[in-house]
Structure 1
């Protein structure tokens, strides 16, 4: 009995699972079948693998060839298993020894001429393989920069099936085409890191109180909405929030890089400690924001913004159904997308920043003499931001237009680096306070703990606001979280009544 066995790894969302490829060459009429719940793209590997193996001089068996994907109960998808299927067939056909692929991972997509194409999602695949004790991996040459992010595993990059055969002790006759490098990523991981620039807060003229609100948001991990006329600088300010946020730690960097690897955008960004920034257009659909697509759902904007910022410009212009879908991820920090072929789980711990005009035309500011919107149009415009959405946004600020450009330009402005140092200090104070609970910032702290550790005098403004129905119970906890952040930014160990009153004021300016 000729059976060749190779290890591969599949992905359902960010969750990886080990796949054992077993090829069996048996007597019978010539036929090549792949079993074990493959999707359409994986079933089509039959023609790619047959042609690629033949390009090495391997005599394809003129009998029945069966490849089983185990475990058979889990759906498998994508062309990233082509190289593993080819290796199992070559092993079963005697082209390579049977014992050389133990504790070895094989991943890669194949062209008909045998060239190995780079794949998406290799980083989470290698992290899973390392955790399972695999110490060697055959990967596409085009994924080498990404694969080097994972240590303690021997990487063997290959450009052609023939190279795989030679590495494993077989013989092959092949020629790598001149266009074999055409499918490689245009930039390396390091190039993407060097070319990425983070905008500096110093470039923003004026708006000191909005910069301070952004500093508070970054220090406590709070969601925020800015309302102001067109051209006041809302988008410019929001794009600079990642530059003042604390740097990502190693675990967060790998999580962000894994999501980008699945999306195929990791070479453009690289791996760095700057939080991600996503700004979907207001015409975005539910699938593009939350995640979706055929087969297993791919990450949406909220997952690509994991551990970073999701900026929704012109927030009232988003469809109400789209806005409602982010309510649950705001609370849970992850999103589960179920399809017929499986359920994909993606992390979605993002910091939401919204921007809106005061009215549809944008000129309902000050005396509003330039505004042409009716009361009905304004009401319809703001009703898209429902009460439950606004109740989850801790900081609500108005952004006025700059009236005196000359004087504002001459005023000194702080850089993002200076603000970031204060934010890091505030985060460290919160992390030390919540050391026994594991909460990274005030926005994640338990309301029960906050109420128990806030003085009775400081709790008085919150109790009065709840009694007057200016705050819901959720809003009361969020106001306390904001008050503790204000205390951290000011260098105090606990909030006083003025911090709590300021926190309530920052939450209820638009309500």
Structure 2
């Protein structure tokens, strides 16, 4: 009996788990089977692995070859296990020593000619391997830059199955036809994910900029309404430039999501918060994630620790908008499919932009508006009450009347605004050190009511009694008041901050 073993790592969402792969070469008619809940792409590894091994000079056994992937109860997917399957068969056949793969994770997709292709999701896999005490990992050469991001792990790269055989102490005969190294697939970049502009480039809109600074300081959700051409999209695309830089842990979280999506080579490890701007025709699955078998991340997961910008928000389908409700509260999304439930992080800041009506000109006197009253009501009613109730700041972006209204050399730069945001966030972190919160948006209602002055609370109570705010709206107005106090350098909010918080919260009421 000949058994060879190798280690690989599987992913269910961003949750990784070690897979032990055992190959058994036994007497019988020639047959190659893979068991252990493989999906379709993994079942097809039989032909890829067999051809790749033969392209390395290995004579495939003319007997029965069985590969088991354990734990058998966990679903396995994708072609990233090809190289580990090949390694286990080569070990069982005696081509490489039995102890050559001890405590070593092997990852990579193989081509029919034996070349090893890069994979997606390597970063979360390597972080899990480090936590499990794995000493060495073998990855495709196309993933070398990503593999270098994780310290404390011995990394070897291979371009061909023949190189793997030689690395493990065996002998191979192979030829690499093309010296150019493949790279992992990257998603096409959307226009709004390019270079982040500066707030100083935006003419006018000082009130809206101030509201965005408050949103960035406290991680509050924001809705901007205004006619076309008033600068809503331009402002939203620059919001990451005034937000706090990502911490080291947050950078790894964002990079892990991008690695799984195949976009990490484009971004690298960066402290700039991500910015996602799905089109208003986006489906529900593209927002929250989807796919058969195990669901893949959607826009709200790609916006984790950053901004999810929904331009023309009332044009999104009602179903797509309703899917935001639970992630806004919980900070994660759960996607259930036939093969299990996948959890993805979704702690994002929601920024919405909307016209005041279908034609966009129902502002001021409204003399340019050509919409009927019922059309205006129906248009904005698509943003349902439960969604609007979760938006902390609602601000109106009116048209700029003069091109000299700020901007250029006179507007505040993103760096100036960011420094104030960082100072305010640091104040909040020191205040909440014993609570486990990092910003005002996470503070609980009981804590805020217990630590806010009676005069400020009285203003909030009057807004609740008059129906201007809901009970949830009161808590969100309190959070805004605390953020305003942090920006003003005050230890707690007074009546001025409370009035401003109510005004920002209830502007659309």
TM-score scaled by structure 2?
0.97
How do 1:169-318 residues align onto structure 2 when only pairs under 5 Å count?
Answer: 169-178=169-178, 181=180, 183-185=182-184, 197-318=195-316
Q: Deviations over 1:446-481 (max 9, x none)?
A: 111101111111100111111112211111111100
1:318 and 1:228 mapped to 2: Cα distance? 17
CA deviation profile, 1:306-331 (whole Å, cap 9, x unmatched): 00000000000000100000000000
How far off is 1:406 after superposition? 3.6
CA distance 1:387–1:11, shift in 2 (3 Å): same
Match of residue 69 from structure 1: 69
Tell me, in whole angstroms, the C-alpha distance in 1 between the residues paired with 2:471 and 2:221.
17
DSSP 3-state at the match of 1:100: helix
Q: What does 1:332-347 correspond to in 2, within 5 Å?
A: 332-347=330-345
1:129 matched residue in structure 2: 129
Q: 1:221 to 1:411 in 2, by over 3 A?
A: same
Q: CA deviation at 1:121?
A: 0.2
Please say if residues 196 and 269 of structure 1, whose CA atoms lie closer than 8 Å, have aligned partners that are also in contact. Answer: no
Do the aligned partners of 2:203 and 2:405 also contact (CA within 8 Å) in 1? no
In structure 2, C-alpha distance between the alignment counterparts of 1:265 and 1:439, rounded to whole Å: 30
Is 1:95 aligned to 2:95, yes or no? yes
Offset of residue 279 of structure 1: 0.3
**Residues of 2 paired with 1:202 and 1:498: CA distance?**
28
Rounded to whole Å, the distance in 1 between the matches of 2:160 and 2:32 is: 22
Whole-angstrom distance in 2 between the partners of 1:142 and 1:274: 25
Aligned equivalents of 1:342, 1:148: Cα separation in 2 = 32
CA distance in 2, matches of 1:320, 1:140: 44
Where does the alignment leave 5 or more consecutive residues of structure 2 unmatched? 187-192
Aligned to 1:168: 168
* In structure 2, C-alpha distance between the alignment counterparts of 1:502 and 1:479, rounded to whole Å: 9
Deviation string, structure 1 residues 232-290 (Cα, Å, up to 9, x no partner): 00000011110000000111000000000000011111110000000000000000000
Offset of 1:405 from its aligned partner? 1.4
Residues 434-453 of structure 1 aligned to structure 2 (within 5 Å): 434-453=432-451
Superposed, which structure 2 residues align to 1:21-60 within 5 Å? 21-60=21-60
TM-aligned CA deviation for residue 343 of structure 1: 1.1
- Partner Cα distance (1:322, 1:112) in 2: 42
Q: Deviations over 1:413-441 (max 9, x none)?
A: 11101110000000000000000011010
In structure 2, the CA distance between the partners of 1:458 and 1:380, relative to structure 1 (3 Å rule), is: same
Matching of residue 140 in structure 1 with residue 140 in structure 2: yes
In 2 relative to 1, CA 409–57 (structure 1 residues): closer, same or farther, beyond 3 Å?
closer
Equivalent position SS for 1:385: coil
Offset at residue 198 of structure 1 (A): 2.3
Distance (whole Å) between structure 2 residues aligned to residue 352 and residue 363 of structure 1: 24
**Mean CA deviation greater in 417-426 or 357-366:** 357-366
Distance 2:207 2:377 in 1: 28
Matches of 1:372 and 1:446, distance apart in 2: 44
Q: 1:395 and 2:393 equivalent?
A: yes
Secondary structure class of the residue paired with 1:5: strand
Check whether the contact 1:39–1:76 (CA below 8 A) recurs between aligned residues. yes
* Structure 1 Cα separation of the partners of residues 147 and 462 of structure 2: 56
How big is the alpha-carbon RMSD for the aligned residues of Structure 1 and Structure 2?
1.3
Q: Which residue of 1 aligns with 2:190?
A: none
Aligned to 1:191: none
Find out whether 1:358 has 2:356 as its counterpart. Answer: yes
Give me the whole-angstrom Cα distance separating, in 1, the residues matched to 2:408 and 2:120: 49
d(CA) in 2 for partners of 1:389 and 1:266?
32
2:28 & 2:318 partners in 1: Cα distance? 60
For residues 211 and 159 of structure 2, the distance between their equivalents in structure 1, rounded to whole angstroms, comes to 52
Count of aligned residue pairs for this structure pair:
503
Cα displacement (A) at 1:501: 1.3
Q: Deviations over 1:363-406 (max 9, x none)?
A: 11222222111111111101100111111001000001011114
Tell me the SS of whatever aligns to 2:357.
coil
SS at match of 1:462: helix
The whole-number CA distance in structure 2 between the counterparts of 1:168 and 1:410 is: 61
